[in-house]
């Protein structure tokens, strides 16, 4: 009789283990989301760097396109 009380039913124990594992997995996923959100908050809390107008290379490309268009055909 003492052996019967010492060993609990395996079905409820397995169900409890399964539910605990699911809960821990959910917590781990939420912590991953929290890490991503914290990194985003840190990145967005910095000031935006000054804008530098550096599109000079586009003017050169536009000039080359114009030159090619106005070239006489061979």
In this prediction the pTM is 0.48
As a whole number of angstroms, the longest Cα–Cα distance in the chain is 106
Rounded to the nearest 10 degrees, how much is the dihedral formed by the CA atoms of 12, 14, 16, 22?
Answer: -150
Confidence of residue 31 (pLDDT cuts 50, 70, 90): very high
Instruction: Count the alpha carbons within 13 Å of 43 in the hemisphere toward its beta carbon.
Output: 6
Distance (Å, whole) CA 20 – CA 13: 10
| From 7-16, 22-31, 55-64, the region with the lowest mean pLDDT | 55-64
């Amino acid at each position: 009789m003492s052996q019967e009380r010492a060993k609990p039913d395996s079905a409820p124990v397995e169900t409890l283990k399964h539910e605990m594992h699911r809960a821990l997995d959910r917590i781990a996923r939420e912590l991953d989301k929290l890490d991503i959100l914290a990194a985003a908050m840190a990145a967005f809390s910095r000031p935006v760097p000054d804008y530098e107008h550096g599109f000079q290379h586009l003017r050169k490309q536009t000039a080359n396109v114009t030159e090619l268009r106005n070239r006489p055909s061979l």
